[in-house]
Structure 1
Amino acid sequence: MRANETAMQIGNGLRGRLSLATAGWGPDLITLAATFFLVALGQGLFNGITTNYYVNDLGLNGQEVLWLTGIREIPGLSLMLIAALIMRLPLSWRTGMSLILMGIGFALYASVHSYLALAAVVIIASIGFHNWMPLSNSLALSLIPKAVAGRTLGALSAISALASILGMGIAGLLAVALPLRTFFVLGGILIVLGGLLIFRVPASIGQESRSQPRMLLKRRYWLYYVLTLFEGSRMQVFSAFGTLILVQEYGLDARQISLLMVISGIVNFLFARRLGHALDLVGERITLTVSYLLLALCLVGYATVHNALFLCAMLVGINLLVTLSIGLSTYVNRIAPAEELTPTLSAGVSVNHISSVGMSLLAGSLLVLVGYEALAWGAAGLIMLSVPFALMIRVPSAPPEAA
């Protein structure tokens, strides 16, 4: 009885937080939020078991997993070109098509039995995923005032975290009973459903009176490009070896990794909206600088302490702090004319992947030679290099007109 009452109290608390976070939202933003939920639910079903699938089912070693991360990031390099080719389509159509491709790619993970086949489906899913990243932010920012951009993106992150909790919880409960391949199929279907749902957002959303440039690289946004370049070089490396080390070095199984991801999702759900509110309150300069310093400390902890529980705690902290990368999107939203927002965010993803591809492949080659501790130290060092640039952020009172 007490367990049921506790569960009801938790459920009421989560509903209350969501009601508060989404107060005043229109139907189009609610549709986008539902899409975020479906996509995160789908990803949650397989995110917690992906490393175990690579290591236990496909027999990959640490080097191959890190190289696969580099392969996965290659489509991000071509995002500027892909974005230019589909720029004339409505924003909601581009977003929906990206999710459908992403869902099909992830569902195909279940069919692979070789490294070459895995690399092929990874690229398919990655093309959709890397288009979804800037387009989802652009669509959200097109639906809200600039003054509440941070808290709204934070609320969407919280909704995604809640869906991830549910997905990873289901995976953790069923990982023993079902083949791991099943979760990729179910997750892919949910992502495709999210892609179909987003077509309900009117095609006029995100359409500007001025024509959007197909490709855009401007000196005005150099600081954004530098910060996103560092973002790719450090976090793609850690995202690959963070859970890999827990599986290979400390023997955590699929259920334990899923439970860890559930805990991480709960922490993100509880705090993501508050972090987004902090962005609106104190600005990107302070928020990003503090987050970079804390991220560096977490990675130093990962490098120096050899205890599975401690490393799990560091992983949870890192996953929370990474949500503040939305500050790069809100920064561009504050300084860019509306017609330059989407192409600038797309260019940012390509710049990000100049470093993330190379660093993932380099880390895969170095992991066996220097160990994961040295990689963690390297990632911490790259984060510290970001701090002076974050301190240079200045936001004008009004965004300049497009040249």
Structure 2
Amino acid sequence: MFLIVGALCALTGVWGLLLDPTNKDLPVQSKKMVFKRKYWLFYLLTLLLGARRQIFTVFALFLLVDHFAFSVHTVAILFMINYGINWFLNPLIGRAINRIGERKLLSIEYSTALVIFTGYATTGSAWVAGILYILDYIVFNFSIALRTFFQKIAEPQDIAPTMAVAQTINHIAAVFVPVLGGWIWVEFGYQIPFFMGAALTCCSLALVQLIDREIQLNAVPKA
């Protein structure tokens, strides 16, 4: 039985190697890193999103474990709840983008994130902190609207290299935010990194109000 399954897997692998996954109709992507003034809002929102991601993935979870003494079992349950909710919710996010647009959806995300970060810093309830963590995980997925915003203003040949730039910007935040936030946590208390996250979220909330204007100025007509 195992030999049959192994042979089928091997044959499937050989079949896959013979396929050409490229789409010849797609525009040829630029081979160089792309920095253009028209993408400034996408760059800046990406940097702020990267900082928020680090606060969520590092400090929110550390808050649950260190401050509220969540066990590995409890954290695993939270992960399972998050994955289950988002399995149903993610398709609805795409529909919401089509219905209300990127600016409104991202405004909802950042307004909610502002409440969440403030809640992390002020709550004394483990139950509230756990609920905030689940809600944080849910609204973070709204950030896909940032990518659809970029796709509306990007030149077709710029999409791949600019996404590479976005990953680089995210890594900049990934290097500095945990170190700085960890030092602040130890020296000034766990609340301060979350208040910093709230301040960054306010900046993001203000900037996303410019999305519709940028789309009107820079939208690339569909082929």
TM-score bracket, normalised by the shorter chain, equals 0.7 to 0.9
TM-score (norm 1): 0.48
Distance, in Å, in 2 between the alignment partners of 1:246 and 1:240 is: 10
- Which of 172, 177, 200 pairs up with 1:382? 200
8 A Cα contact 2:154 2:219, kept in partner: no
Question: Is 2:128 the partner of 1:310?
Answer: yes
8 A Cα contact 2:107 2:205, kept in partner: yes
- Which of 69, 76, 86 pairs up with 1:268? 86
Distance, in Å, in 2 between the alignment partners of 1:201 and 1:341 is: 25
Distance, in Å, in 2 between the alignment partners of 1:206 and 1:373 is: 52
Shift of 1:200: 8.5
Within 5 A, what are the aligned runs for 1:148-187?
Answer: none
Q: Which amino acid aligns with 2:38?
A: R
Partner of 1:349: 167
- Which of 62, 67, 76 pairs up with 1:258? 76
Distance 1:389 1:251, change over 3 A: same
Within 5 A, what are the aligned runs for 1:62-141?
Answer: none
- Which of 79, 83, 99 pairs up with 1:281? 99
Shift of 1:250: 2.1
Distance, in Å, in 2 between the alignment partners of 1:338 and 1:389 is: 24
Question: Is 2:37 the partner of 1:219?
Answer: yes
Distance 1:212 1:301, change over 3 A: same
Shift of 1:336: 1.2
Partner of 2:220: 399
Shift of 1:209: 4.3
Q: Percent identity?
A: 27
Secondary structure in 2 aligned to 1:214?
coil
8 A Cα contact 2:54 2:173, kept in partner: no
Question: Is 2:141 the partner of 1:331?
Answer: no
Distance, in Å, in 1 between the alignment partners of 2:174 and 2:29 is: 31
Distance 1:368 1:333, change over 3 A: same
8 A Cα contact 1:303 1:373, kept in partner: yes
Distance, in Å, in 1 between the alignment partners of 2:197 and 2:50 is: 10
TM-score (norm 2): 0.83
- Which of 226, 234, 244 pairs up with 2:52? 234
Distance 1:206 1:369, change over 3 A: farther
Distance 1:209 1:387, change over 3 A: closer
Distance, in Å, in 1 between the alignment partners of 2:148 and 2:136 is: 20
Shift of 1:307: 0.9
8 A Cα contact 1:215 1:343, kept in partner: yes
Q: Which amino acid aligns with 2:42?
A: Y
Question: Is 2:119 the partner of 1:301?
Answer: yes
Q: Which amino acid aligns with 2:99?
A: L
Secondary structure in 1 aligned to 2:44?
helix
Distance, in Å, in 2 between the alignment partners of 1:368 and 1:283 is: 41
Distance, in Å, in 2 between the alignment partners of 1:222 and 1:346 is: 15
8 A Cα contact 1:234 1:356, kept in partner: no
Distance, in Å, in 2 between the alignment partners of 1:224 and 1:202 is: 32
1:105-146 alpha-carbon deviations (Å, 9 max, x no partner): xxxxxxxxxxxxxxxxxxxxxxxxxxxxxxxxxxxxxxxxxx
Within 5 A, what are the aligned runs for 1:6-25?
Answer: none
8 A Cα contact 1:291 1:324, kept in partner: yes
Q: Which amino acid aligns with 1:227?
A: L
8 A Cα contact 1:208 1:339, kept in partner: no
Secondary structure in 2 aligned to 1:325?
helix
Q: Which amino acid aligns with 1:319?
A: Y
Partner of 1:144: none
1:328-361 alpha-carbon deviations (Å, 9 max, x no partner): 1111111112221111111112123323321111
Distance, in Å, in 1 between the alignment partners of 2:88 and 2:67 is: 30
Shift of 1:302: 1.1
Q: Which amino acid aligns with 1:344?
A: T
Shift of 1:210: 3.8
Partner of 1:45: none
8 A Cα contact 2:29 2:158, kept in partner: no
Shift of 1:272: 1.8
Distance, in Å, in 1 between the alignment partners of 2:67 and 2:150 is: 40
Q: Aligned pairs, how many? A: 206
Q: Structure 1: which 5+ residue stretches go unaligned?
A: 1-197
8 A Cα contact 1:235 1:379, kept in partner: no
Distance 1:273 1:304, change over 3 A: same
1:44-83 alpha-carbon deviations (Å, 9 max, x no partner): xxxxxxxxxxxxxxxxxxxxxxxxxxxxxxxxxxxxxxxx
Distance, in Å, in 2 between the alignment partners of 1:255 and 1:361 is: 27
8 A Cα contact 1:292 1:386, kept in partner: yes
